[in-house]
Chains A and B, each alone.
Chain A
Amino acid sequence: MINITVKLFAQYRENRFKVESRTYAEGITAGDIIEELGVTKVLPLGVLMVNSRHEKEEYHLKDGDTLALFPKVGGG
């Protein structure tokens, strides 16, 4: 098992959480966690970061990684 810190932002937080340390089986991808949380059923995925770097849903997470999920956001 591996420990992943999952952070959610903007509308993804509603009825979920801001940040949680969660345990997963080895080999899990960012996309698997997105599906488990059901966030994209509310709004399409905008940005996915692992350890502060932009990654894709196929990314295989490692023990200690931080996954951050954002819907489409913007400003300026």
Chain B
Amino acid sequence: MSDLIYRVNMSNLSFKIEEVPASWMGLGGRGLTSTIVAAEVDPECHPLGPNNKLVFAPGLLSGTSASNSGRNSCGAKSPLTGGIKESNVGGTMAGVMSKLGVKALIIEGLPQDDSTFYHLHVTKNNVEFIKVPELVGKDNYFVLDAMLEKYDKKVAVMSIARPGEMKMLTSNISVKDPGGKLRSHGRGGLGAVMGSKKIKCITVDSENYKEVTIADPEKFKEASKIFTKALQENPISGQGLPAFGTNVLVNILNEAGGLPTHNFREGSWKHAENICGETMAENIKARGGKTTHGCHAGCVIQCSQVYNDKEGKYLTSGFEYETIWALGANLGIEDLDLIAKMDALMDDLGLDSIETSVTLGLAVDAGILAYGDGQRAYDLIANELANGTPLGRIIGGGTHILGRLYGLVRVPTAKGQAMPAYEPRAVKGQGVTYITTPMGADHTAGYAVATNILNSGGHVDPLKKEGQVELSRNLQIASAAVDSTGMCIFVAFAALDDAACLPALIDMINARFGISITGDDVVNLGKNILKIEHEFNLKAGLTSADDRMPEFMKYEVLPPHNTTWDFTNEEIDEFWNF
């Protein structure tokens, strides 16, 4: 059975099932969502208007038995950045869509009657449009429970909560994971795009849940074995991530002076030990819970965890470094358990935990709360944001909007999107990624932290300019390609340091489709994706002036290394010279 495109039109509640055009055949994940958005969406359209499209595409290897291949991509024009967006997620959706033979799900138009929300139920050759007034005003876990009651437990579910209905720029699209918890298409306000189309939730039922057809099963099995071994034998993906999760980064960034603290005023925080990965792992050991947990079936890295409170009661899972940093060092909350509660709350409300938490860090400068006031921060999310009060709408507009409304200068964003957990003045390669990626400040787009701080793929001095543009460019090209395979970005640690890893990944793609692409083809795929995305942004009205660091980072020195952002515009613009 060859894969098909499922195209939904919300303007007249209709759908079409189309053959895959030849030029889309070799694409998946980000490569496919960005290609479709660039081909079909007017770059000048309003992201929440009738001409934006919401596109979902599993990766090339999703639905196979390949380790870590369960990432699903979502693309659209972002209401947060005004440019193209791709955000990928674990959970069960990528596998289920692939098993149903859905190469991409494209959602276009807006319903003429916008008095209610719809649930889309996707099955073989069919899309049902179900009005769900009973789910309006409800949050993610309520919707998830309702869907699991209605359908087989294996059905894939994604949904938006109240902030998505209100089209807040901090809203995400939440996806069911194998444990019945939530994962997120987090960044760029994609929940608002789904809300604009009046879609409350989407379920996909593949009816049979067998692995997708493999052109050369023997070759696939062999390559898959090598690939899995590379992930398991790598000290980061095989030992560090399972033991401590992504939160192991708190201490190393803190030690390197690159942990943004108190809205990017300093590079280290004296209370880092309270929130670090080692403390988290100790708590899990003492309280019950799990240090290892996968966000999708087939994950051999298991960087996620189940985190309980002192009484051994479940608090959250998928408790990530970025969220812990943003509420911890950047907003000053020292209580890891309270951070866990806020993480779970943001999951239920479908809020991007980076954008929302960095906005709260900036809200201190606006006089809305004080550093370390975790209770006030919790209440702002649970009451103001969730209910859409005027203050909630302001915070729900994200970091850039809050900064403008309160006349603030120290606003840590690129292309309107809040910066994640690495200080650009102390991890300069990562700063180059933040400002050059077409996505807006995004740490996964080209993870220069690996080479600046973690000694993966060599070492480039994090405090100097030399080599950073080239480093970021190479990583962004590689990430764009990896984001197309359905692979988790953490396979990059093995790919950077183990010569067997990348060839095995390419062999799996070849065996899956019966093709013979080379390493050069993969690099070219990555380059093409970046160029397509950049071109879309230029047509949308972004310019090289949007590839710039916030000015305060150029004149304000960052302790402890007392560095500034010191690149010239020409040095940065060299990024696109490939």
Contacts and interface: CB of A to CB of B under 8 A. Distances in A.
Contact of A74 (B236, B255, B256, B463): B236
Interface string A57-76: 00000000000101111111
Q: Which 6 residue pairs spanning A and B have beta carbons closest together?
A: A75-B246, A74-B236, A72-B235, A73-B240, A75-B249, A73-B248
B459 A74 contact: no
Contacts of A47: 252, 453-455
Given A10-B248, A10-B278, A43-B235, A76 B447 contact: yes
Given A11-B239, A44-B235, A73 B454 contact: yes
Contacts of B454: 46-47, 72-74
Contacts of A15: none
Given A46-B454, A70-B252, A74-B241, A54 B459 contact: yes
A52 B560 contact: yes
B443 interface: yes
Given A52-B561, A76-B443, A9 B235 contact: no
A69 to B, nearest CB: 10
A49 interface: yes
Interface in B435-463: 443-444, 447, 449-450, 453-456, 459, 461-463
A52 B256 contact: yes
Nearest to B561: A52
A7 B268 CA distance: 15
B332 interface: no
B329 to A, nearest CB: 15
B248 A75 contact: yes
A16 interface: no
A9 B249 CA distance: 10
Given A9-B248, A10-B278, 8 more contacts: A52-B560, A53-B463, A70-B251, A70-B255, A73-B236, A73-B249, A74-B490, A76-B249
Contacts of A54: 256, 453, 455, 459, 461-462
A65 to B, nearest CB: 13
A46 B450 CA distance: 11
Tier of interface size on chain A: 20 to 34
B489 to A, nearest CB: 7
B303 A75 contact: yes
B315 to A, nearest CB: 20
A49 B462 CA distance: 12
B278 A9 contact: yes
Main secondary structure of the interface of A (DSSP, over half): mixed
A9 B252 contact: yes
A63 B237 CA distance: 36
Given A9-B278, A73-B252, A43 B450 contact: no
User: Which residue, of B240, B493, B561, has the highest number of chain A Cβ atoms within 10 A?
Assistant: B240
Contacts, number: 96
30 contacts: A7-B255, A9-B252, A10-B240, A18-B273, A46-B454, A47-B252, A47-B454, A49-B256, A52-B256, A52-B561, A54-B455, A54-B462, A71-B235, A72-B234, A72-B235, A72-B236, A72-B239, A72-B455, A74-B237, A74-B241, A74-B248, A74-B454, A74-B490, A75-B247, A75-B248, A75-B277, A75-B303, A76-B246, A76-B321, A76-B490
A74 to B, nearest CB: 4
Interface residues of B, number: 44
B204 to A, nearest CB: 28
Contact of A73 (B244, B268, B447, B490): B244
Contacts of A18: 273, 278
A74 B456 contact: yes
A18 B252 CA distance: 13
Contacts of A53: 463
Q: Which of A53, A54, A72, A73 is most buried by chain B, counting CB atoms within 10 A of its CB? A: A73
Q: From B251, B321, B444, B463, name the one whose CB has the most chain A CB atoms within 10 angstroms.
A: B251
A46 B235 contact: yes
Contacts of A49: 255-256
A9 B277 CA distance: 10
B243 interface: yes
Given A13-B278, A76-B246, A76-B321, A43 B490 contact: no
A38 to B, nearest CB: 17
Nearest to B560: A52
A76 B444 contact: yes
Contacts of B561: 52
Nearest to A11: B243
Interface string B254-293: 0111000000000010000100011000000000000000
A75 B444 CA distance: 10
B164 interface: no
B349 to A, nearest CB: 24
Interface string B500-540: 00000000000000000000000000000000000000000
Given A10-B240, A10-B244, A10-B277, A75 B321 contact: yes
B124 to A, nearest CB: 37
